[in-house]
Amino acid sequence: MVRRGQRIFTTTASAVLVLALAACGHDTYQAAPGADRDPSKSRAGMFSPGGVGANLFTGDASKGGSEGAIAVNAFLWRASLDTIAFMPLASADPFGGVIITDWYAPPETPNERFKVNVYILGRQLRADGLKVSVFRQQQDASGRWNDVNVGPEVAVEFENAVLSQARELRLRAVAQPN
C-alpha cells in the first residue's frame, strides 16, 4: 500500500510541477510588427526599384552610403569590387565587409602571383574605414610558390585607389536626381 501511495504522490507532484511550469510560459501569440502592412509590398518586390531593399548595395547617398541592408559602407564595398575586378574572387561577404581574392598571376609575369584581402571596417566613407592586405608569391625553379615580402606602400596605394573610386561613386550618386 505504501508503494501505491508513493506512486500516486509522485504522479500528482509531477502533474502539479508540469502545470506550474506551463503557467510560467503563458505568452499569447502576437502578430509580427507591421503584419498589417500593405500586402503589395511582398518579398517578391523587395529588390525592385523603390522596393523595400532597393538600396541594398547603393545606400542613401545623402547619408554617405551608410544606409541599406549591408553592414558596411556601400560605396567602399562597390569601389573595392571594382578595383579588384581583374582578380578572381575567393569569397565576398557584404555583411561582414570582407573580400578575399584568389591568387592572380599577371600574364606578363607568370612566375609571380598576388592575392588581396579587403576589410571594410564600418558604415562611414572614411579613409580609416578600409584595410587592405596584399600577398605576393614567386615560383622557384622546382615549381614551388614561395612567399615574398610586399612593401606597405602597395597596400596604401590600393587603399587610395579604392577610396578615390568610392568618392567618385558617392559624387555620382549625390548628383543623380531621385
Q: Which CATH code fits 70-175?
A: 3.30.530
pLDDT value of position 176: 82
- Extents of the domains making up the chain: 70-175
% residues pLDDT > 70 (the chain)? 60
Selection from 44, 71, 45 nearest residue 57 by Cα: 71
pLDDT value of position 43: 33
| Residue whose C-alpha cell is 591568387 | 103
pLDDT value of position 69: 56
In one-letter notation, the amino acid at residue 70 is: I
Report helix, strand or coil for 47. coil
Interval 123-173: pLDDT, tens:
999 999 999 999 999 999 999 999 999 999 999 999 999 999 999 999 999
Selection from 114, 111, 72 nearest residue 95 by Cα: 72
Measured CA distances, 6 to 1, 2, 11, 14, 18 (Å): 9, 6, 9, 12, 18
In one-letter notation, the amino acid at residue 165 is: Q
Say whether pLDDT at 70 is over 70. Answer: no
